[in-house]
A and B are shown apart, each in its own frame.
Chain A
Amino acid sequence: MKKFLFIWICAAVSGYAQLKIFDKPLSPRIANYNIKAKLLPAARAVEASWELNWWNASADTIRELQFHLYLNAFKNEKSTFFREGGGEGRSNAAHLTKEDWGYIDIKALRTEDDEDLTKRIEFIYPDDGNADDQSAIRVVLSKPILPQKSIQLHCEFYSKLPRVYARTGFTEDNFFMVGQWFPKIAVWRNGAWNCHQFHAWTEFFADFGVYDMELTVPKEYVVGANAVLVDKREGDSASVYTYHQEDVIDAVWAASPDFKEIKQKITVEGTGKDVEVTYLLSPTREGMIDRYEEFMAKLLQYYNEWYGEYPYRNLTIVDPPSGEEFTSGGMEYPTLITTGSFIGPLMVDRILGTRWLEVVVAHEFAHNYFQSLVATNEFEDPWMDEGFTSFTEHRAVDRFFAEKNLTGSYANLLGAPVNSMDYFRGGYYPHPRDGLMSDAAWKIPPGFYQTAAYSKPTLFLTTLENYLGEQTFNKIMRTYFERWHFKHPKPKDFTAIVNEMAGQDLNWFFDQVIYTNKTTDYEVSKIENAEAPEDGGWFDEGGEKKFAENQKSDEKKYHGTVRVRNNGDGYFPTPILIRFANGDSLIERWDGKGAWREFTYDKNSKIISAVVDPHHVNTLDFNWGNNSKTVDRSELGITRYTLRFMFWVETLFQYLTMFV
């Protein structure tokens, strides 16, 4: 007991009192950890302990605690993670050896009164009833936690890291990505614990808090963490890094003897505040630094302008070793992201004109806003973090490359630009009805996660922006960020803000897109130009019948018809642009309801074309190819690209026969 109290006081003094980043807490600071960890490279493991100060911010009396043990997802093939994903989820299928599996063992769990809770640990499996899954636990307390009171716990644990997998683990050449590695308390919400198992396609959910970390690693290792480095002490064989971070939802770190550390100070335009970006680049990636630095400076400016201030002082960017781009790259943590500029060194991106580096950085850094600051529940509402993030990524790369006068925000493939919108639409229209965007991550049908969490939400937000206009939309997003950062919003919280800021009820749209799988596919199905009938025949005039001759004139009159139909079961207000041969054009407006609508005109000019939604406001319309119709063939644009295609075929043939 005395020993534990001593440790607790030391922790309090060394940790919490050491550095204060923010004058006032930015978040409720519910889960506060003081972690001491030692990396054991040979064992591919971390030996660690934490002191947790958890505050019951609710009005409930809490009689048990629940924790996530995420690393147990990699313990064996009976875990829910493996059963659902077959080992394929997120990365390469692992033909795992004994060393490659990962797990977490709690050696001891005690209260501040030195009551041993270790034996009370029970595995729980609230989502699927899989009794073999060990990714979530509960501990019944002998003394309940009263409303507005705190509990202090001490835990000792051993985290065996897996061969890097789902963005956590080790590689052969001693790269360690230490994420989701400690017993992490769940979130108490609406009178119950919100503690889901680790599924193949779920991510994480946690409360905000203050984190202090003391990391001991072999001396030759370079370390980066999602916190501010307070102190670094070097011994004969080991170095001790001390970190501190406030108002975040997670603690993560990476270590490797091969990291090249580069620092960049960015003064954010608009706030005047400095953010220190630390790049930890694997060998061969140093050449990427200019691209990183230029883009990060822009991102901080864009996101500040669109959403609000990035409140932290630091950001760490880890570019993993070659070959591990998909296993450990492309992951987000508060103030630390992993990227993966894998095609850079081979210059494939230069030759093909792909923008992989920028796309990944824009996406992962956007997660610092959506899920790290606006801390949505990634288990239950995956679209609210991945969707908002993908949408932000789309906006960022579009703007960045447009500012550089480069076409193709995703790639410029041999002269054919591919934009982010092409990418996200490509992820949606092949199967727009397979599941619901509002589904919890583990309930989304296999193969639909990308659509439900990334593509469809991106199109949903883009359509909303197009429909309401950029100014209103930015106001919505800024308000959403301002009201909900450091909190846990649900979809209704967002849609309520949209309705409020837009000054109209848009639930008709939300219901179609978020809560059902209704689709829209508007098509111009017919253009017809018939010669208008002349005005001849018998007519009643003043009680008498009068005969009128056909008024033949040189100028022909046409009865033009445009028919537009909706092949989907949803609707969206849709303009139709109609052009006439004499150069006239007009815009018709249709509320989009009903299966079809016809527009007719009697003019002395033929209709030459009709286009539904000419500015592509409705990005959820899953076939833009049928949105227009012309009376005459026009193929020059096709010839332009097919000739270019032929040129590339010739080039391909010539390279194919390079060794002949």
Chain B
Amino acid sequence: MSIFNLFLQAVRDTWSRKRMIVLVWGVTLLFSVPAFWAVQRPLRSHFGMTSVPDEWLTQFNANYLLEMLVEQPLFFQTVTSVLTAMGLLYLLVSILLSGGVVGGLQTKSPDKFFARFIGDGGKFFGRFLRLFLWTLLLSAASLIFLLIPVAGILFVTVALGITRCASDIAKFRLAADAGFKVTKTYFSSLGWVVKNFFRVASVYLMSLLMLLAAFAIYRLADPTPHSVVTILWMFLLQQAFVLFRTSIKIQMLASARLLWQTAPKETVSPNLTHMPLEPGVQT
């Protein structure tokens, strides 16, 4: 399968699972709501009866906010506490979700979507958590190369990309083999990604280009909101962009699955190949 066809297949695989995209996006939105309230409520009580909100409709003046921080130091602490708590929770829930996504990408059956999704999430949670910790550790370690100017930045970017791709590949290998050897699987996936670097990088880059294009459209369409209608439009656009980013993340996982499946290799788990990718495609 050519790189481009593989990419297209990943796009199709992703968008044929719309419920999954909406679910993951919905969770992201849900987790950001407490942060919204943590900011909205004190601002309303502090500025609601002043002309500051009207001024902000035409021009943002950070002064007011900074003054409020001096007057109400607890505001900042509350917001950061909520952000930290929700961020950590979201991290754990995301690990659960990624299990659901990996399981969901391996089947086309629409039956009992939600139950299967949660079931897969629970099934893989422990393994994917360890996988995440390995990825995080290696990614953090690679940051040391930032000390080298220019070349260091390039190296770190590539290293982060490789650890991320290896993590995606390892997820499918663990899921397909029903294996528990996380460390071994992750490091062998790392080796595999390095060996197939250009193929892997090309597919991931195509996804990133899609994201970049969506970002450009978002920036162009993002209005300067002065009224209820334009604020609503801004909100819808923002959420559409978050939803699209969610789809790209799933698409990268779908790409990883296809990359691993279609690569010429010695052994492929029989469990992983039970479902044809598309009619006529041999794995």
Contacts and interface: CB of A to CB of B under 8 A. Distances in A.
B130 to A, nearest CB: 12
Contacts of B57: 636-637, 640
Given A654-B28, A654-B249, A638 B47 contact: yes
B96 to A, nearest CB: 10
B50 A416 contact: no
B60 A416 contact: yes
Interface centre among A284, A322, A658 (most CB of B within 10 A): A658
Interface in A599-642: 609, 611, 622-630, 633-642
Interface string B181-216: 000000000000000000000000000000000000
Given A422-B66, A624-B64, A647 B53 contact: no
Contact of B51 (A628, A641, A649): A628
Interface stretch (B6-14, B87-95, B263-271, B275-283): B87-95
A429 B29 CA distance: 36
Nearest to A642: B40
A426 B66 contact: yes
B55 interface: yes
B115 interface: no
A642 to B, nearest CB: 4
Given A645-B36, A654-B28, A660-B91, A638 B49 contact: no
B232 to A, nearest CB: 9
B85 interface: no
B49 A653 contact: no
B56 A646 contact: no
Interface stretch (B67-75, B104-112, B254-262): B67-75
A654 B94 CA distance: 9
Given A425-B63, A646-B36, A625 B98 contact: no
Interface in A123-150: none
Contacts of B150: 283-284, 345
B149 interface: yes
A623 B239 CA distance: 35
A267 interface: no
- Per DSSP, are chain A's interface residues mostly helix, strand or loop, or mixed? mixed
Given A635-B44, A659-B167, A284 B149 contact: yes
B231 A651 contact: no
Contact of A646 (B35, B95, B132): B35
Interface string B131-155: 0100110010000000001100100
Interface in B151-182: 153, 163-164, 167
A238 interface: no
B32 A630 contact: no
Contact of A653 (B32, B40, B68, B149): B32
A649 B87 CA distance: 9
Interface in A344-374: 345-346
A652 B87 contact: yes
- Per DSSP, are chain B's interface residues mostly helix, strand or loop, or mixed? helix
A634 B98 contact: no
A643 interface: yes
Contact of B40 (A611, A628, A639): A639
Interface residues of A, number: 53
A647 B227 CA distance: 18
Contact of B235 (A630, A635, A643, A660): A643
B28 A653 contact: yes
A657 B94 contact: yes
A644 B33 CA distance: 12
Given A636-B228, A639-B40, A658-B164, A429 B51 contact: no
Nearest to B129: A660
B128 interface: yes
Contacts of B56: 637-638, 640-641
A511 interface: no
Contacts of A630: 49-51
A418 interface: yes
A313 to B, nearest CB: 33
A188 B28 CA distance: 69
A46 to B, nearest CB: 27
A421 interface: yes
A611 to B, nearest CB: 6
A659 B50 contact: no
B249 A634 contact: no
Nearest to A283: B149
A649 B34 CA distance: 10
Interface in A324-350: 345-346
B31 interface: yes
B246 to A, nearest CB: 8
A504 B59 CA distance: 35
A618 to B, nearest CB: 13
Contacts of B238: 643-644, 646-647, 650
A656 interface: yes
Contacts of A642: 36, 39-40, 43
A430 interface: yes
Nearest to B167: A659
B82 to A, nearest CB: 9
Interface in B222-250: 225, 227-228, 231, 234-235, 238-239, 241-242, 245-246, 249
B272 to A, nearest CB: 21
A609 to B, nearest CB: 6
A649 B35 contact: yes
Contacts of A635: 44, 48, 53
A417 interface: yes
Given A625-B52, A638-B56, A645-B35, A425 B66 contact: yes
A419 interface: yes
B63 A637 contact: no
Nearest to A579: B51
B61 interface: yes
Interface centre among A322, A652, A656, A657 (most CB of B within 10 A): A657
Contacts of B153: 345-346
A645 B94 CA distance: 21
Nearest to A626: B50
Interface centre among B50, B56, B239, B241 (most CB of A within 10 A): B50
A640 to B, nearest CB: 5
Interface of A: 283-284, 322, 345-346, 407, 416-419, 421-422, 425-426, 429-430, 609, 611, 622-630, 633-647, 649-654, 656-660
24 contacts: A284-B149, A284-B150, A422-B66, A425-B63, A425-B67, A426-B66, A429-B67, A429-B70, A609-B51, A625-B68, A625-B71, A633-B48, A636-B57, A637-B57, A640-B56, A643-B235, A650-B32, A652-B87, A653-B86, A656-B90, A658-B164, A659-B135, A659-B139, A660-B132
Interface of B: 28-29, 31-33, 35-36, 39-40, 43-44, 46-57, 59-64, 66-68, 70-71, 83, 86-87, 90-91, 94-95, 98, 128, 132, 135-136, 139, 149-150, 153, 163-164, 167, 225, 227-228, 231, 234-235, 238-239, 241-242, 245-246, 249
Given A638-B43, A638-B53, A642-B39, 17 more contacts: A322-B149, A345-B150, A416-B62, A422-B61, A625-B64, A625-B68, A627-B50, A628-B52, A629-B51, A635-B48, A635-B53, A638-B44, A643-B231, A644-B234, A647-B241, A656-B90, A659-B163
For the complex of A and B, list the 3 residue pairs with the smallest distance between their C-beta atoms, beginning with the closest. A637-B56, A637-B53, A628-B51
